[in-house]
Copies of this chain bind each other. A is one copy, B any other.
Amino acid sequence: MSVQEKKIKYKEDFRSKILAAAKKLFVEEGIEATSIRKIAKVIDISPTTIYLYYKDKRDIVYALHLEGCSLLRTRMEVLMHVDHAFERLKAIGKAYLSFAVTEPGYYELLFMMKEPMQFLDDHRGEDYWEEGDRVFEMLIETIKDCQQEGFFKGMDTQTLSLQAWSTVHGMASLFLSGHLKQLNNLLFSEALEAEFLERTFQLYVSMLERIK
């Protein structure tokens, strides 16, 4: 390994070190509480050093966004082996909601925050939402397969994909933002939020089944 290669590798190490520290902080203390200065303190460097490896804070946030994306994609990819398309669709929906519940920080980073999308807007052309698109493509493919199995006849595949995503995202985001909790006063109070998620998802599945 040449000296130059070593330098590049070291630089990459530093980048991932910063990213790891940022991830640790935002998972443990939330995304709001994660500051450049705190990240620097974790790995014991000066706050300004971070700017040698990341352009600005949004750059770090976007890097974490990508990490979360590939984590979700990994979870989704294993489900693509489910033979029966409609079963696969259900599994994808469940996994998506499960991701939101078990990885709330990542979910916010992926689908609720504006910053990562704005970052992409600013870097339009050179970069696009590849990771996100890949996940969405799996949904499109699955719904296409469902249609070949006889489901959703005469419906536009992409529009239905968007509709399905909207539904589960709506559930997940209302849950994470705390709005579902506040509705507990209105709805019968015995049920927990997680049950609401489950019930609403099941109802949606039964709706999809009916329009076979």
Q: Is the CB of A112 within 8 A of B211?
A: no
Among the listed B113, B155, B179, which residue makes an inter-chain contact with A177, where contact means beta carbons less than 8 Å apart?
A: B113
A130 to chain B: closest residue by CB: B185
Give min CB distance, A2 to chain B, whole Å: 38
Give min CB distance, A134 to chain B, whole Å: 9
Give min CB distance, A97 to chain B, whole Å: 11
Interface residues of A in 156-212 (CB under 8 A from B): 156, 158-160, 162-163, 165-171, 173-174, 177-179, 181-183, 185-188, 196, 199-200, 203-204, 206-207, 210-211
Please tell me the number of chain A residues within 8 Å of chain B, measured between CB atoms.
49
Determine whether A28 belongs to the interface, using a CB cutoff of 8 Å to chain B. Answer: no
Q: Is the CB of B186 within 8 A of A156?
A: no
Q: Is the CB of B186 within 8 A of A136?
A: yes
Determine whether A118 belongs to the interface, using a CB cutoff of 8 Å to chain B. Answer: yes
Number of this chain's copies in the assembly equals 2
How far is A2 from B84 in the complex, measured between Cα atoms in Å?
76
Determine whether A87 belongs to the interface, using a CB cutoff of 8 Å to chain B. Answer: no
Determine whether A103 belongs to the interface, using a CB cutoff of 8 Å to chain B. Answer: no
Q: Is the CB of B129 within 8 A of A183?
A: yes
Given A132-B182, A183-B129, A165:B159 Cβ within 8 A: no
Determine whether A63 belongs to the interface, using a CB cutoff of 8 Å to chain B. Answer: no
Determine whether A29 belongs to the interface, using a CB cutoff of 8 Å to chain B. Answer: no
Determine whether A137 belongs to the interface, using a CB cutoff of 8 Å to chain B. Answer: yes
How far is A170 from B167 in the complex, measured between Cα atoms in Å?
6
26 A-B pairs within 8 Å (CB atoms) are namely A111-B177, A111-B179, A112-B173, A112-B177, A121-B178, A129-B182, A129-B183, A132-B179, A132-B182, A133-B185, A155-B203, A155-B206, A158-B187, A159-B196, A159-B200, A159-B203, A160-B203, A162-B196, A163-B203, A163-B204, A163-B207, A166-B170, A167-B167, A168-B170, A170-B171, A173-B173
